[in-house]
Structure 1
């Protein structure tokens, strides 16, 4: 089941499925957020914005309104 990246809890692994808005796609793609890429939710700020994700081997901070436009599918956490 696809969900928004902004809805995922810390420590969960997800795979990027699609983007809701085309205008944000290029910016996210340049940062390594492309469909099929695995992302791990690293931290969420105390007030919920921003969130920190691990993508392509580095940490990336996203604003919550950016994360709301990324559709992902949760995958089992690999130990």
Structure 2
């Protein structure tokens, strides 16, 4: 029972750390129902948004995410 509890706690801690890091480095999104004023003569820019998920990140990041909970489990 303790082993399962430690794994759950480790997974929750890792999840919380990922979610916290995700929100720190990104500017807040504009509200979708608001228009952005464009002044005359301003250059037109296009910004593409790409959401990384576990399935789309590089293999070395997969490996790191998979190893860290195991390392924490060994330490505990």
Pair in the same fold by TM > 0.5: no
- Higher RCO, Cα 8 Å, sep 6+: 2
| TM-score bucket (shorter structure) | under 0.3
TM-score, structure 1 length as denominator?
0.23
TM-score, structure 2 length as denominator?
0.24
- Compare the two structures and name the one with the higher helix fraction: 2
- Compare the two structures and name the one with the higher strand fraction: 1
Larger radius of gyration: 2
